[in-house]
Every structure is written in C-alpha cells, then in structure tokens.
Amino acid sequence: MKKIILTLSLLVSSFGLFAQTEAELKKELGEKKAAVAKFQKEADAIKAKIDALPGWKKGAFGTIGGSISGFDNWFLQAAPNNSSGNVGISVNAFANLNREKDFWRNALNINLGWVKLDDKDDPNDSENYNVATDVFNITSLYGYKLSEKLAVSTLGEYRTALLEGQFNNPGYLDIGVGITWTPIQNLVVVVHPLNYNFVFSDSDVNFESSLGAKVVADYTRKIGAISFKSNLSAFLSYEDSDYSNWQWTNGFAYTLWKKIGVGFDVGLRQNKQEAFNAGSGRTPANAATFSLGDTDNKLQSFWLLGLSYAF
C-alpha cells in the first residue's frame, strides 16, 4: 500500500513538474517572440532610413505558375481523353533614383500566361499552347521636389501586349505633367491634369487618342520575407468618357527558402475601346449600328498563383 501511495505521489509530482516546465517554456517563448518583433520593428525603421538615402534603389521579384494533367476514358467530362496544361510568368521590377532636389522612378510589370487543352478524340483541335494572359507595362516618373512630400513631375507610361502579333496593337502611351505626392514611405501618388493618351493600332482597329488627366498610385515594399507591389493607373479623358480607362495590378511574393517562395498576382482593368473592338455587346441584330456607346464595358481580370523567385 505504501508503494502504491509513493508511486502515485511521484506521478502527481512529475505531472506538476511537467506542467510547470511547459508554462515556463511558453512564457520564455512569448518573451522571445516579443523580442523578435521589437528587433524586426527596429530593422524595418533602419531599412526605411536606408531607402530614403540618396542614390539608386533597385529590385525585382517574379512568379512562375503551372500545371499539367491527363485523362483517359474519364467519361464524366465532355472530352474524356485529353491532356491539358497552363503556364504563367510574372515579373515586377523597379529602379528608383532619389536625390536631394529631384527623383526618377522607373517600374516594369510583365505578366504572361499560356493554356492548352488537347482533345485526343478530336484530330482537328490544336495541340499548341494558346495565350491566356498578356500584360506589359513600363513607367518612368521624374519629379523636381518642392518640399519633402510634393514635387512637380512628368510621367511617361506605356502599356501593350507582347504575344501573337499584338505588340503595339493596341499600344497606349501616356505623357503628361502635374504634381507627385509622397505622403508616406513607399507610396507615390501622381496627379497630372495635363496628359495626352496616345493610342496606337492597326488601321483596321478603331481606337482614338485624347487629352485628359492621369492619376497613378503606386505602393512597393518589402517587409522581411514578404515583397509586394500595388499599382493603380487611370486615364480620364476630357473629350469623351468612353475613351477613359484604368488598370490595377498587384503582385505578392513570400520567400520560404533562400530566394524561392510562393507568389500571387492579380489584375483588374476596364477599357471601353478594347471592349468595343472585341465586340462586347455586339449581336447580329445590332451589328450595322453598333457603336462605342453601345459597348458592354465588362471588367477584365487575371490572376496567377505559383512559385516565386526574388531576383
């Protein structure tokens, strides 16, 4: 009986010791996490000071996504025998010069995607990869500082597609002057009330250039293992609201090992002239009288999820 009581006492004591040790470890872990958060905050503050120093700052990150699949006698789908695949690539890069009296900011965004569906039972279908996403955007902003946060600026922005003969068809070139505001680190807001939107295209495609206002908001930052960039670019035509357009692109990358991680890109845009030339809203009944004003200006979008690489 004494042995049983002694054994139970030892078990209770061991449990209490384990519980006490676990509580102490959790407390120590919490203290370490708090210390890490404090040091990370200090490191971010130092990084912000470095970014604010005069000179060039350059960086880039990208995402590669893809998948392949194959089916044989999978009768639940319309094409029971097929192979399919998709590939996507995105690149976000910047090169910024900051000096005491002026700055020069340059940015590049490329997003390309291909998709293929090979129906093995259809000898006439295409086995090639078809273009699914095609985005090319480059901007250059120069500003002369009036104060720490305000500058007189001029902006050049060019947007087009690259594949399947669509380069510069259409192509958009914005050139304008106005004010640039940098309210916080890494955020740049451009307001150019005097801007001309040049639109280039083949003669058989109907696009119009016009005078208007340009508004751009760009936020690019890296926090620890996370890199992200958000860019909103809008043109507001003074001649006809149907000539206005906007585009919003976002890129995120989280580094898991060395420079490799997970990336996610998403983009939205609206452009009524593009929708008109694509026939959005056109039917056989209204084809003869179909106009730009009749166009269904649907929201355009793309997204890409895959592996990322920080250059």
| Three-state secondary structure of 221-250 | EEECCEEEEEEEEEEEECCCHHHCEEEEEE
Cα 184 from Cα 172, distance rounded (Å):
29
Cα–Cα distance measured from residue 272 to residue 208, given in angstroms and rounded to the nearest whole number = 11
Q: Compute how many other C-beta atoms are within 10 angstroms of the C-beta atom of residue 141.
A: 22
In angstroms, the CA 134 to CA 192 distance is 27
Q: Compute CA 61 distance to the chain's CA centroid, rounded to the nearest angstrom.
A: 11
User: Encoding tokens for residue 277?
Assistant: 């030339």
Query: DSSP of 75-124, one letter per residue?
Result: TTSSSSSEEEEEEEEEEEEEEEEE-SSEEEEEEEEEEEEEEEEEETT-TT
- Whole-angstrom Cα distance, residue 165 to residue 147? 45
State the 10-residue block means of pLDDT for the chain, 311 residues long. Answer: 58 53 76 74 68 77 77 70 83 90 93 84 79 89 95 96 86 96 92 95 79 95 85 94 93 84 89 86 80 86 80 62
Q: What is the pLDDT of residue 165?
A: 81
Taking residue 247's Cβ as centre, other Cβ atoms within 10 Å add up to 21
Provide the Cα torsion 162, 166, 170, 171; round to 10°.
20
- What's the rounded Cα separation, in Å, for the pair 53 and 219? 18
Measured between alpha carbons, how far is 143 from 79 in angstroms, rounded to an integer?
56
Instruction: Give the DSSP H or E segment for 125.
Output: none
In whole angstroms, what is the distance from residue 291 CA to residue 277 CA? 10
pLDDT (0 to 100) of residue 252:
87
Q: What is the number of other CB atoms lying within 10 angstroms of the CB of residue 12?
A: 10
E-strand stretches of 100-225? 102-119, 130-145, 150-160, 171-181, 187-200, 210-223
Q: What is the pTM of this model?
A: 0.74
